[in-house]
Amino acid sequence: MAWLKKLVGAALVLGVVGAAAGWLLSAPVKLDAAALAQLGPGDAVRGKRIFYAGGCTSCHAKPGSQGDARLQLVGGLELKTPFGTFVPPNISQDPKDGIGAWSAEDLANAMLKGVSPSGHHLYPAFPYASYARMKPSDIADLYAFLKTLPAVAGKTPGNSLAFPFNIRRGIGLWKRLYLSDQPVIPLPGGTPEPVMAGRYLVEGPGHCGECHTPRDLAGGIRKSEWLAGAVAAEGSGVVPNITSGGSGITNWSEADIANYLETGFTPDFDSAGGAMVDVQRNMAELTADDRAAIAAYLKAVPPHPNGYPPRKKSTN
């Protein structure tokens, strides 16, 4: 039975080596010194624009908040997904319950690398897979603006996730597959500046692809179907296709898109609904040039058929 002992021994060695490799490959990785040097001092006025482009209030304001209450970033919204329920945390300036004690470097590592100040992986329900495409200087500006907002006490409940999704270390392997600072859509030289600016806003802070793009079984975005629409993470609805190849905004002009982002009204005089209500409210805070740039980029995105199954027609 010597051969069996050797086989078992070899299997144990391979198991240990595999576990060690997995542990190393899944380790949290923070920004290097060169990236941190690009943060700069930050400007709160510019940071307000990034705050609304990034949709911070949509997840981190208390559900149902209106007016100035939307700037009280106490968290608490429940995001129910196939992987479990995620609860966005308090990101107000409270030093104990919020992020008031964070440095600009801490915020940059969270948004660009998905790593907390304590060195743990953050779950990608926080859309750092999109924020990773942002400029460090914009993170510094956002940090400066967040410092002007109120501190609000109150811890949010933790996430409710089943095994194996409750093992944070595994997110490190997910990041190796899906976390990149490179643009999704390559644009040729000579592309008009508004399209380039729109790509940055849509693919980065705006994180539009997080909802409007189908995902694979591991929860990663299918970049080959960028913005083709998707089954909604919550409920039984769908998020529309916003390329020119589906049933969403195919016949909309750039002016139609920009007007919708400003007013919430479609060319057919319908209005934004569902989660898009809050998104549109944020987009209305941007400049007219920003909204025009977003529209220009969306019209430049390659067309895709709808990225969700056909909806059944009612028999009533």
Terminal-to-terminal C-alpha distance of the chain: 71
**Given 157, 182, 207, which residue is the final one in a domain?**
182
- Residue 66 counted as domain residue: yes
Residues 6 or more apart in contact with residue 221 via CB below 8 angstroms? 129, 178, 209, 210, 213, 214, 215
37 and 152 belong to one structural domain: yes
pLDDT digit string, tens, across residues 146-190: 999 999 999 998 888 888 888 888 999 999 999 999 999 999 989
Contact (Cβ atoms closer than 8 angstroms) between residue 302 and residue 185? yes
Same domain, 235 and 162: no
181-193: burial string, b at 16+ Cβ within 10 Å, e else: eeebeeeeeeeee
Share of the chain above pLDDT 90, in %: 69
Distances (CA, A) of 40 to 34, 36, 95, 103: 12, 8, 23, 13
Domain count, the chain: 2
Residues 202 and 130 reside in one and the same domain: no
% of the chain at pLDDT higher than 70: 89
Q: If you average pLDDT over residues 41-47, what whole number do you get?
A: 96
The answer to whether residue 7 is domain-embedded is no
User: What is the side-by-side strand order in the sheet with 160-161?
Assistant: 79-81, 84-86, 160-161
Amino acid residing at 76: G
What is the per-residue pLDDT across 206-249, written as a single tens digit (0 to 9) for each?
999 999 999 998 899 999 999 999 988 766 688 999 998 876 78
Give a yes or no: residue 25 inside a domain. Answer: no
On whether both 141 and 98 belong to a single domain, the answer is yes
Cis status of the peptide bond prior to 164, with omega within 30 of 0: yes
CB atoms within 10 A of CB 56: 22
CA nearest neighbour of 226 among 300, 303, 124, 279: 303
Q: How many CB atoms lie within 10 A of CB 11?
A: 10
Residue 192 sits in the same domain as residue 234? yes
Residues of the domain holding 68: 33-182
pLDDT grade, residue 54 (50/70/90)?
Answer: very high
Domain end point (choices 182, 210, 231) = 182
Q: pLDDT-derived band of residue 316, with 50, 70 and 90 as boundaries?
A: very low
pLDDT averaged over every residue in the chain: 89
- Same domain? For 205 and 305 the reply is yes
Q: What is the pLDDT of residue 161?
A: 85
Q: Identify whether 2 is part of a domain.
A: no
CA distance 42 to 138: 8
Do both 39 and 176 map to the same domain? yes
In DSSP notation, 11-30 reads HHHHHHHHHHHHHHHTS---
Judge if 73 and 209 occupy the same domain. no
Domain membership of residue 316 (yes or no) is no
Q: Is residue 22 part of a domain?
A: no
Q: Are residues 130 and 197 in the same domain?
A: no
- Global pTM reads 0.90
Residue closest to 285 by CA, chosen among 47, 107, 90? 47
Q: Is residue 170 part of a domain?
A: yes
Query: Do 57 and 178 sit in the same domain of this protein?
Result: yes
